[in-house]
Structure 1
Amino acid sequence: MKPWENFLTDEDRAVIARGRFGRRMGFGQRAAVVVIDAQRYMVGEPGNDAAWPSSCSDVGRRAVQEIARVVQAAQGVGVPCFFTLFALDRDGSDIGVYGRKRDLLDSEHWCLAGSRGAELVPELSPAQGDVVFVKKKPSGFHGTPLLGYLVERRIDTVIVLGGATSNCIRSTVFDASSYNFRTIVPQEAVFDRIPISHAISLFDMDRQFADVVTVQETLDYLARARDGTVV
């Protein structure tokens, strides 16, 4: 069952059916994996989440295990992986309007540039040919070289992993769709701090802009790839 099913009424389902929402776009032939902000500050550490102000706790840590499965499968068949890191300057000079919604936190366990919190989680290891870059806004596309990399590699399918579902995943998915990439979201490999935010964001993405699938469906697709192309 999809994470959002318990939140829908019969009237909601009638609206979806009438509008013919949620049709499958499917995977294409050349995929890339985009891992959004799978950083230490996002998942904290067992038994000490109180010290990590943005931790998604066990939910995030379980998702990281699924993210690692997808990344390793992609790396094994030559599918390129892109890793974003959200990192803010310690003086807050690049926080922008986000600073009007949230305080700049003076913590080595947050997303400050050079801090332990800003590091990629140790479960993930970029391979030769993978790309790691810093972003300053929610979308992995905004102000980054991601689009150019995807175009150069003739990518038609973007598999989006990481967190948080209602923030940076959602905005990256909407941008990927706007650029006409087939956009895939493996539901066990994305995570959020608040369950309802996670569920409804997945619903919104699946309804119009992406296919929300299982990790196993994603692994089955990647298993058919050779040198980055699905045959």
Structure 2
Amino acid sequence: MKRALLVIDVQNEYFSDTFPVEHPPTSVSLPNIGRVMDAARAADIPIVVVQHSAPEGSPIFAKGSRGWELHPEIARRGHDHLVEKTKPSSFTGTDLREWLAARGIDTLTLVGYMTHNCDAATTFEASHAGFAVEILSDASGSLPYANRAGSATAEEIHRVFSVVFQSNFAAVMTTAEWLDGLRQGGAAERDNVFMSNRRARGMA
């Protein structure tokens, strides 16, 4: 197993009044992201920082704006590769796949934002490409939505996506669990859709 850490879109926009991540609160997720980056550096795990860019004039993530900039806690830490993306997946329109392949990476640990959008798109594409994926539930986060399909709180969105990830696409764990696994070796396993459903129906 050879890991890389993907730090996805930890940009000032998510810490502003314009587009704030709400669950888990950034007062929890940001320190955990910092701890994971520090542990990865100490363990010689490559760190890829991903930054989302939108066109000038966009209400969020407009390239060159303060909201677009990496959060200072990310900017002050070193990284091995910087990926600039314009789509939710960190793979779409970027050199990420080639960069990982050149280094023999087969396992991706994801932290950052948002659980249900860029983390999800990256997770699904990585899983389909054959990578083992780990998502740290307290080092990521969501915000609430309301549209013609209905509404959902940040907690609901984050929780449901985490359950779906664990059922098929990724191993979901806390920062503490990931750090323990790093010290002890090995990797957490994702579940499967059949057993996840049976447990929900009280059949397992």
TM-score tier after normalising by the smaller chain length: 0.7 to 0.9
Higher strand share: 2
Contact 1:60 1:192 in 2 (8 A): no
Instruction: Give the match for residue 87 of structure 1.
Output: 53
Between the aligned partners of 1:70 and 1:222, the Cα distance in structure 2 is 10
| 1:37 matched to 2:3 | no
Distance in 1, Cα, partners of 2:135 & 2:165: 9
Amino acid at match of 1:67: I
TM-aligned CA deviation for residue 122 of structure 1? 1.0
Q: Distance in 1 between matches of 2:98 and 2:27?
A: 31
Match of 1:55 in 2: 20
3-state SS of the aligned residue for 1:189? strand
Deviation at 1:146, TM superposition (A): 0.8
User: How far apart in 2 are the matches of 1:136 and 1:169?
Assistant: 14
Q: Counterpart in 2 of 1:19? A: none
TM-score, length-scaled by structure 1: 0.71
When normalised by structure 2's length, the TM-score is 0.80
Q: How far did residue 224 of structure 1 move?
A: 5.3
Task: Kindly report the root-mean-square deviation, in angstroms, between the aligned alpha carbons of the 2 structures.
Answer: 1.6
Aligned pairs, number: 173
After TM superposition, the structure 1 stretch with the greater mean CA deviation from structure 2, 117-126 or 195-204, is 117-126
* Greater relative contact order structure (CA < 8 Å, 6+ sep): 1
CA distance in 2, matches of 1:146, 1:222: 23
Runs of 4+ in structure 1 deviating by more than 4 angstroms, as ranges, are none
CA contact (8 A) 2:123 2:170 kept: yes
Pairing partner for 2:158 from 176, 181, 198: 198
State the one-letter code of the partner of 2:161: S
Question: Post-superposition shift, 1:223?
Answer: 3.2
Corresponding residue number in structure 2 for 1:209: 169
Identity of aligned residues (%): 31
Structure of greater Rg = 1
SS at match of 1:169: helix
Aligned counterparts, 1:57-206, within 5 A:
57=22, 59-91=25-57, 104-105=58-59, 110-124=60-74, 125-127=76-78, 130-193=80-143, 194-206=154-166
- Residue in 1 that maps onto 2:190: none
Assess if the C-alpha contact under 8 Å between 1:140 and 1:168 holds in 2: yes
Q: Contact 2:6–2:47 at 8 Å: present in 1 too?
A: yes
Unpaired segments of 5 or more residues in structure 1? 1-28, 92-103, 226-231
